[in-house]
Structure 1
Amino acid sequence: MAIFSKTCEYAMRAVFYVAQRSHEGYKVGIKEIAGHINSPEPFLAKILQQLSRDGVILSTKGPNGGFYFDAASLNRPLADVVTAIDGDDIFTGCGLGLTYCSESNPCPLHEEFKKVRNQITHMLHTTTIGKFNLGLIKGKFTLNK
């Protein structure tokens, strides 16, 4: 079960891979990223363009170009990635997907889902893009299905 859209899953995996490579001093192209996260290149290209337009990831063109993060952008919260791709529904939405669910008109899952949603919101706002770099470099984590 996933809590993010497929697009957001690819975005997060790509961001983690680019962050790891940036930490090692490299800029990476779409082909390399797609190969390491098992993503279709054209789909990934659109995702990375969106992240770049929103200022979440940096990019340069040319023979030494590619996607990368600088030190400041490695400290951005994962919430920025999610918001750029999926919007902010994960932070405010109903667990049943109801548009009319609210404090004054709750769905059956409202109170319990709100607790889970608040934990996810906290994690995404307090976890940085670069947090997992050393674990990825040491092979502790995987980004490939």
Structure 2
Amino acid sequence: MRAVFYIAQRSEEGQKVGIREIAVHINSPEPFLAKILQKLSKDGLILSSKGPNGGFYVDTGGLQRPLADIVRAIEGDSIFNGCGMGLSYCSETNPCPLHNDFKKIRGQIVVMLQNTSIGKFNEGLITGQLTLNK
């Protein structure tokens, strides 16, 4: 998510960014980041272009997409419907000890991820009110 926020911020500023710059600014290893960005690009959450002025970027439509799309692309749907203890058999009819409490928390997380756009934090990142790295 940090990488997408950084790419979105730089896109808002009219820039495309390379993997090395992203890695430095979010304090992430390049090989790990490369795999994540490849997946996000394949899923259309971020865009890339080759060449001397190339790099990763997010278009206007991408800035409006919900954070939930990033989570689904990288982690799948488990955060949206999985058990808080990671049990495969947990359900409404066969609940684990955390089921009811986790269901409430999970619901709040889902709402936040669905209702928050990728570009929501751009202004705060650009002005320095928010940070992706210390």
**What TM-score results when the alignment is normalised by the length of structure 2?**
0.98
Question: What is the one-letter code of the residue matched to 1:119?
Answer: Q
Aligned counterparts of 2:51 and 2:63: Cα–Cα separation in 1: 23
**Unmatched segments (≥5 aa) in structure 1:** 1-11
Percent identity for Structure 1 against Structure 2: 74
Q: CA deviation at 1:54?
A: 0.7
- Could you tell me how far apart the structure 1 residues matched to 2:21 and 2:94 are? 48
For residue 51 of structure 1, what is the aligned residue in structure 2? 40
| Cα distance in 1 for residues equivalent to 2:54 and 2:92 | 49
Cα distance, 1:43 vs structure 2: 1.0
Could you list the per-position Cα deviations for residues 87-109 of structure 1 after superposition, in whole angstroms to 9, with x for gaps in the alignment? 01000000111100000100111
Aligned AA (1:38): N
Gaps of 5+ in 2: none
Partner of 1:73: 62
The answer for the alignment partner of 2:8 in structure 1 is: 19
CA distance, structure 2, for counterparts of residue 144 and residue 44 of structure 1:
15
Alignment RMSD (CA, Å): 0.7
Distance in 2, Cα, partners of 1:86 & 1:115: 20
Aligned length: 134
- TM-score between both structures, scaled by the size of structure 1: 0.91
Alpha-carbon shift at residue 39 of structure 1 (Å): 0.6
Matched, 1:108 2:97: yes
Residue aligned with 2:52, SS? coil
> Which residue matches 2:19?
30
Specify which of 117, 122, 126 is matched with residue 133 of structure 1: 122
Q: What does the per-residue CA deviation read over 1:15-74, in whole Å, with 9 as the maximum and x for residues that have no partner?
A: 000000000000000010001000111111111000000111111111111000111110
